[in-house]
Structure 1
Amino acid sequence: MEAVLMRILFISQLFDPEYSIKGLGLMKHWVEQGHEVEVITTFPNYPTGRVFPGYKRKLKQVEVIDGVKVVRLWSHISHSKSKLSRAATYLSYTILALCYALFSKKPDVVYAYHPQATTGLIGIILKKLKGVHFVTDVQDLWPDALVATGLNKAGLVVRLIDRWCRIVYMQASAIVVLSQGFKTALVERGVPESKIRTVYNWCPEELHISEALDGQNNKVADQKTKARVVYAGNIGAAQSLASLVDAVGTFPDPTVVLELYGNGVEKEELETLVKSKHYGNVIFKGYVSSSDIFDVLIGADILAVHLRSDPLFKITIPSKTQSSMAVGKPILMAVGGEVNDLVMQAGAGVTAEPQSVESIQKALGLLLARKSDWEQMGQSARDFYEQNFSSRVNYQKLDDVLKDVSHDNS
């Protein structure tokens, strides 16, 4: 298929220097391909709800970064947990982004990224008024994600959001999803399979990881040392780490140690659990900056990934999967479903059922019994990442999506 140069309008409330998988790196890639790229975003403030140093909130700020035009628009910003305040944040951004997009130069393609529901509205309106095709990127499957947090599946809010998301799917020229499970779920909802493309997420820090790996002696731990199991990330309700803590805390082999890096709403409760049960081999290490965390991961023996047992999580691929594989360490994956299957396919470690102490202990026992295979597991994880999850592979998949959309426009 002949390459077509395009004007791409990328709409995302989340953008660099905030942590964003599809961010400045992807935009620079498109510019290198010869495309004209414009980003509509707001002032960086996630996750604290406070504008990052070096930025001052105003009506509009335009900057060009390595050929990428980044337009930052005012929006309501709050770090409050109030649902109304969060809704105001989303709606204010959407209204200003829509107004800017309507009166700016017509793009060839709109890529609606984050959040999916509100950026999808902008894509639909530009399609209707300017005849522009758009791509919607599904990072969270709605309303399933809301149901997983406790909302009533049969409630009015969930039904309205479900209806709206179906409209976005049907109006989009192409739909990008992060897993095969998401694709299957959308097909079951009546979305044409022909417009859905599975594009795996990558680890935005993959270059940093490669540099860190080059600078370390990444050998298997000595047989006499303790086996360090590391969990790094959010410690919240979705992660539901009590089962992992209990599994290691009551594990019969005293040489196994679980280190937890990060913060979250369930951290204090887990610390109380550890103290009350006198687990001497479970250690809370606190928050570690993103610039330092990969040195921690590379120094681990086993990397643990765990989510609550939920139908939604069985069809998703948590971002820790990509970062864990990229650092080349054996993985204890306790999520279930598709991502468990990927770890087994890669030969990258062992799997367990989430929220099952018995299953996690069995998986950990298998890993310890195969200590001589840890180096090969880590290499297999790294190879699988390079072949399936890397930005190199998935940038190309997104290039193909844009090419197909552009040919539909012609």
Structure 2
Amino acid sequence: MKDILIITNYFPPETGAASNRIFHLAEGLQKYNFKVSVITPLPNYPKGKVLEGYRGRFKHTSTENNITISRLWIYASNSKNKLLRLIAMLSYSFSLIWFFAWNKIPKTVIIQSPPLLVAFTSVFFLRSKTRKTIVNVSDLWPLAGLELGAFKKNFSYKLLEKIEHFNYRHANLVLGQSEEILTYIKSLYPKKETFLYRNYPDFSTPLPNAEIHNAEKIKMVYAGLLGVAQGVLKLCEKLDYSKVQFHIYGAGAEQNAIESLIKNQPDLDIVYHGEVTRQLLHQVLPEYDMTIIPLLNRIYGSVPSKIFEFARLGIPMLYFGGGEGETIIKKHGLGWVAEASNYEDLNTVISKLDTSKLQSKNRIRIQETAFENFGFSNQLIQFIKLL
């Protein structure tokens, strides 16, 4: 049995795409006879507060599904203040250094990036001729931050670029969630070994519901992080509600603003359901006619994992983010596409929706497409061959 360590900032009971991705990877490797251990902070995402039951601890160790999970101390914060966010990342980095100093580290290590500083700490202290370090890149940071307006091209940005390049240069293998990520890394290091590792889900699903749409308005749902990058608040403000009723599930930085908008403008046909478990979400999502996957701005390298999860549930999608995600929607006929950041085009697409595409026949086709093209097990088997 081969030992393997996964270092990540996100892991259940935290919610979100990153947490789900790493959990499925750990569970999948364990099923293929790897002895898996995970290092992660005390759970605090996305609220920026350590969850009850873990507070007041420096370290919490547990074994779940034969996976050893070490949860380390972090100064938890989701503040918009860059200094506090930096302190939070540094605190986890210091906890990692302490862990590395007192524990035996396996010869194969998978490191999640971003956050860059956490990945840098792991790569810097664990790089060795006898150890295989694998960097799993989910976003091109700091480039994504620049496109979101979080950074300017100054000294700090250049420093982050140097850290990013160090991580890629010293990794034995780089995993990327999109073709764009791998193209970018190959442009920096043409000889670097890379592997496309999509965020494919791994859960059992029933057949899609029978005839869904029979109301005057289309029931459109968003489920996920209510963060700045997703732009759900602006979406609420810009949608034309003459044809749709908008349902929202999730939590994040924009939650309070969205709740205030609904309270102050009751004429907007929006229903906010709060945050629910992923298991419950999978039960309620098929009840909706369609889902929307928005990004405030087109982000190079970004492919929202919701595409693969919703396809597996057989839910038609309206994609509003551009880039590689748009290409996947079009290629596999998963729904509709509106021009990124163009709310006039978004409303036009909604006004012209063919409601026959919301019915069970098309939903079953979408689910079959997901089973055929977005297979978690096949991807994992190919990845294991590289370990």
**What range describes the TM-score normalised by the shorter chain of this pair?**
0.7 to 0.9
Q: Answer whether contact 2:250 2:274 (CA < 8 A) is retained.
A: yes
1:367 maps to 2:353 = yes
- How many residue pairs get matched? 382
1:122 maps to 2:122 = yes
**Which residue does 1:239 correspond to in 2?**
230
Aligned-residue offset at 1:300: 0.8
**Which residue does 2:271 correspond to in 1?**
284
Distance 2:259 2:122 in 1: 44
Given the two structures, how large is their TM-score scaled by the length of structure 1?
Answer: 0.82
1:298 maps to 2:286 = yes
Q: Answer whether contact 1:116 1:139 (CA < 8 A) is retained.
A: no
Moved more, 263-272 or 18-27: 263-272
Compared CA separation, residues 256 and 77, structure 1 to 2 (3 A):
closer
TM-align CA RMSD: 2.9
Which ranges of structure 2 fall in alignment gaps of 5 or more residues? Answer: none
Write out aligned runs for 1:32-111 (5 A): 32-111=31-110
**Which residue does 2:363 correspond to in 1?**
378
Compared CA separation, residues 231 and 79, structure 1 to 2 (3 A):
closer
**Which residue does 2:4 correspond to in 1?**
8
Distance 2:36 2:214 in 1: 52
**Which residue does 1:407 correspond to in 2?**
none
Residue 22 of structure 1 aligns to a residue whose secondary structure is: helix
Residue 159 of structure 1 aligns to a residue whose secondary structure is: helix
**Which residue does 1:357 correspond to in 2?**
343
Q: Answer whether contact 2:147 2:297 (CA < 8 A) is retained.
A: no
Query: Could you tell me which amino acid in structure 2 is paired with residue 228 of structure 1?
Result: K
Distance 2:265 2:41 in 1: 46
Distance 1:47 1:198 in 2: 27
Distance 1:365 1:249 in 2: 9
Compared CA separation, residues 223 and 15, structure 1 to 2 (3 A):
closer
Compared CA separation, residues 397 and 257, structure 1 to 2 (3 A):
same
1:308 maps to 2:296 = yes
Instruction: Give deviations 1:91-144, integer Å, cap 9, x for gaps.
Output: 22222222322443342211112544223432232224x631200011121111
Query: Could you tell me which amino acid in structure 2 is paired with residue 292 of structure 1?
Result: L
Q: Answer whether contact 1:329 1:374 (CA < 8 A) is retained.
A: no
**Which residue does 2:245 correspond to in 1?**
257
Moved more, 146-155 or 256-265: 256-265
Moved more, 266-275 or 44-53: 266-275
Aligned-residue offset at 1:176: 0.5
Aligned equivalent of 1:396, options 357, 381, 384: 381
Q: Judging by fraction of residues, say which structure has more helix.
A: 1
Query: Could you tell me which amino acid in structure 1 is paired with residue 338 of structure 2?
Result: A
Residue 346 of structure 2 aligns to a residue whose secondary structure is: helix
Given the two structures, how large is their TM-score scaled by the length of structure 2?
Answer: 0.87
Residue 383 of structure 2 aligns to a residue whose secondary structure is: helix
Aligned-residue offset at 1:394: 3.0
Moved more, 339-348 or 53-62: 53-62
Structure showing greater radius of gyration is: 1
Distance 1:306 1:223 in 2: 25
Distance 1:372 1:58 in 2: 51
* Overall identity of the aligned pairs, in %: 25
Query: Could you tell me which amino acid in structure 2 is paired with residue 318 of structure 1?
Result: P
Moved more, 166-175 or 257-266: 257-266
Aligned-residue offset at 1:51: 2.6
Distance 1:93 1:264 in 2: 21
Q: Answer whether contact 1:333 1:343 (CA < 8 A) is retained.
A: yes
Query: Could you tell me which amino acid in structure 1 is paired with residue 46 of structure 2?
Result: P
Q: Answer whether contact 1:121 1:168 (CA < 8 A) is retained.
A: no
Compared CA separation, residues 198 and 231, structure 1 to 2 (3 A):
same
Aligned-residue offset at 1:256: 3.2
Compared CA separation, residues 105 and 240, structure 1 to 2 (3 A):
closer
Moved over 6 A (4+): 271-278
**Which residue does 1:408 correspond to in 2?**
none
Aligned-residue offset at 1:262: 3.5
Distance 2:5 2:214 in 1: 54
Moved more, 356-365 or 330-339: 356-365
Aligned-residue offset at 1:265: 4.3
Query: Could you tell me which amino acid in structure 1 is paired with residue 223 of structure 2?
Result: A
**Which residue does 2:135 correspond to in 1?**
136
Which ranges of structure 1 fall in alignment gaps of 5 or more residues? Answer: 403-410
Aligned-residue offset at 1:74: 2.5
1:340 maps to 2:340 = no
Distance 2:289 2:43 in 1: 35
Aligned-residue offset at 1:350: 1.2
